[in-house]
Each structure stands twice: as structure tokens, then as C-alpha cells.
Amino acid sequence: MKVSIVAPVYNEESVIPEFFQRIEVMLPKFMEKFNINREDIEVLLVNDGSIDCSFDLLKSISDNNSGYKLIDLSRNYGHQIAITAGIENSQGEAIVIIDVDLQDPPEFILPLYEKLLEGYDVVNAVRTKREGESFFKIITSKIFYRVLNKLTHVDIPMDTGDFRIISRRVADTLNHMREKQRFVRGMISWVGFKQTGIAYNRDKRYAGKTKYPLNKMIKLALDGITSFSSFPLRLSSYLGFMAAFLGFIYSVIVLYTKLFTDTAVPGWASINCVVLFLGGAQLICLGMIGEYLSRIYDEAKARPLYLIAGIYGKSQTDIVN
């Protein structure tokens, strides 16, 4: 069985040499344990528009080491698109997705592949400990996955990232899913087939800074929710009905006060409360609708998911866009 290792890269010049060494140490053990030849293993390094020296390091690796291939994207398309580019250009019957920051240990590829051989199509790496990550990031991640599973009908595994191994039929299905706002881990869960997970301890970054600051985490969360749930649109309807109901109740109170009491004094406070509440509800609803419309607009343009500036390595295959 041919195996592909897909590794997206964005500004990781301080980590790439160590990642390469760890892969080179892992591969002989992998080949010996599973009786696989070196020519049946490819490592696809996807340069996602890096602006440091990552491209030069990756090109040197791919030019001087058999089995390594560099896919150089024309610009920075984002982590999820970089993963997609790697999967679409892979040739393996089993495809590993791993980041180069070494938070996900390359050595764990062995138990992932061993589990896949038991007949699974997806084996997720499930995080137990997360070294070097802030309490805020850990707790918000836990909350996000639990909220997402409540909002959708897709069972997305808790405490997982993109580190996993998938079969060729899962990869082929993903290649036919052309949506622009991609949430790969959710898409893999949506595909179905036989899936499982293995627990592991996630390490801290070897060097450099995280490529998922708060703004990117929020965008990824929005992509996950809007890609797999229409609940925000339904919520806007609920807010509208609630605002209308409360407005009706308030109108009854105002009419009663006006007709049957002597305490009716027109005041700015009550008017402002009503206006602010209705205005806030309307803006929330418009924002939710606008979020979905922006995604429809992106899909309607039908542009390619990514463009490849070049592909490098000793064994080159056709490029998929």
C-alpha cells in the first residue's frame, strides 16, 4: 500500500529542519514494521505562500531527497486549502495529514497506520494533553466542539485537529467537495465510512509562533458552524419572533396604562429600550444572513480553490487545481 504524508507549511523556517530529521528517523521504522518500500512513501510539503525562508528549505529537501515533493502555492490560501492541495496531489492509498510545527509527533504515524489496517477509513489523533497551549485556547476549543456537535447532525470527534490518516476513498470523496470555505475535519466526519480515534499527548511547538491566532480561530469556528449548520439562520427567525412577541406584550402594557391609569407619562427611556432592542435584533439577524450570503457569493464565483506556482521533487505527478 502506497502512503502519502501531507504537511502544510506557512512561515516555519525554524522548524522545517527538525521536522525533516524526525521524518527521516521515523520512516525506516515505519518501513520495517509494515514491510513497505521507500518508493511507496511520498512526503508532500505544501508551501502556503510563506514569506520567510521556508520555500528555500523545502525546495532543498525535495530536490535532494527521493520521495519528497514540494507543492508551492501561488499565495497564502490558508491552512485548510493547503491541506486540500496536498490531498488532491497525493497518490497514496493511505494519506496522513500532519503539521510541521511538531506539536503532532511524526512518530505517532505508526499507530495511526496500524489502526487503519484494521479496516478503518479514518483514524483521528485525539488529544489528551496539550503542552504549551494557553488555558484560554484549550477551553474555547472544548466549548467550540461541543457547541458544534449540538448545532449539527454531523458527529465531529471531540478534541481532534487535522492530524489523522485517511483512506483513498475518503480522499477521493473530499476531492469532489469543492466548497471554498473549508473545514476539513468536519468534511471528513461528514463523509462517514468507518472512523475511529487514538489518544496521544500533543507536544508544544518546537519553535516559532502559532499560526492560529485568535482571529484565525474565530474564522475557522465560523467556517465550521456555517458549513455544517443552518442554526444561525433559524436563530435569526427565533430572535425576530421573540422581539415581535415582547413588542406586543409591551404594547398591551402601554395601552392599558394609557386607557386605565393616570400614570402614563411619555418618556425617552421606554422608547429607547424598545428601539435598541428591536434594532439590535435586526442587526444580529442581518449579520447572520450576510454571513451566509457572503459564502454563497464565494461559491457563485466558481474560482479554483488554489493555484500552484510550481511543483518540485525527484518524482513529479500531474498537478490538480
- Residues 237 and 129 placed together within one structural domain of the fold: no
Domain holding 141, by residue range, is 3-229+305-313
- Residues 132 and 246 placed together within one structural domain of the fold: no
pTM above 0.85, yes or no: no
Largest CA distance in the chain: 92
pLDDT at 289: 74
- Residues 13 and 153 placed together within one structural domain of the fold: yes
Show the cell assigned to 24.
Answer: 527521516
pLDDT at 183: 81
Q: DSSP of 247-266, one letter per residue?
A: HHHHHHHHHHHHHH-S----
Q: Residue 98 and residue 217: Cα distance in Å, rounded? A: 18
pLDDT at 187: 86
Given a contact cutoff of 8 angstroms between Cβ atoms, the answer to whether 39 and 67 are in contact is: yes
CATH of the domain at 35: 3.90.550.10
Domain membership of residue 99 (yes or no) is yes
- Residues 204 and 294 placed together within one structural domain of the fold: no
Domain membership of residue 318 (yes or no) is no
Domain membership of residue 319 (yes or no) is no
Given a contact cutoff of 8 angstroms between Cβ atoms, the answer to whether 206 and 15 are in contact is: yes
- Residues 171 and 272 placed together within one structural domain of the fold: no
- Residues 213 and 81 placed together within one structural domain of the fold: yes
Q: Residue 201 and residue 199: Cα distance in Å, rounded? A: 7
CA angle (83, 87, 89) in 5-degree steps? 120
**DSSP letter, residue 118:** T
- Residues 107 and 244 placed together within one structural domain of the fold: no
Radius of gyration, CA atoms only, the chain: 25
- Residues 71 and 210 placed together within one structural domain of the fold: yes
pLDDT at 320: 47
Domain membership of residue 320 (yes or no) is no
- Residues 187 and 240 placed together within one structural domain of the fold: no
- Residues 114 and 162 placed together within one structural domain of the fold: yes
Domain membership of residue 249 (yes or no) is yes
Q: What distances in angstroms separate CA 177 from CA 69, 174, 184, 224, 275, one per listed residue?
A: 24, 5, 10, 15, 44
Domain membership of residue 261 (yes or no) is yes
Domain count, the chain: 2
Length of the chain: 321
pLDDT tens per residue, range 211-247: 555 566 666 666 666 565 666 666 666 666 676 666 6
pLDDT at 24: 92
**DSSP letter, residue 92:** -
Mean pLDDT, rounded, of the chain: 78
- Residues 284 and 206 placed together within one structural domain of the fold: no
Domain membership of residue 57 (yes or no) is yes
- Residues 122 and 93 placed together within one structural domain of the fold: yes
pLDDT < 50: residue spans in the chain: 268, 316-321
pLDDT tens per residue, range 129-150: 766 566 666 676 666 666 666 6
Domain membership of residue 127 (yes or no) is yes
Which of 248, 304, 298 has the alpha carbon at shortest distance from 274? 248
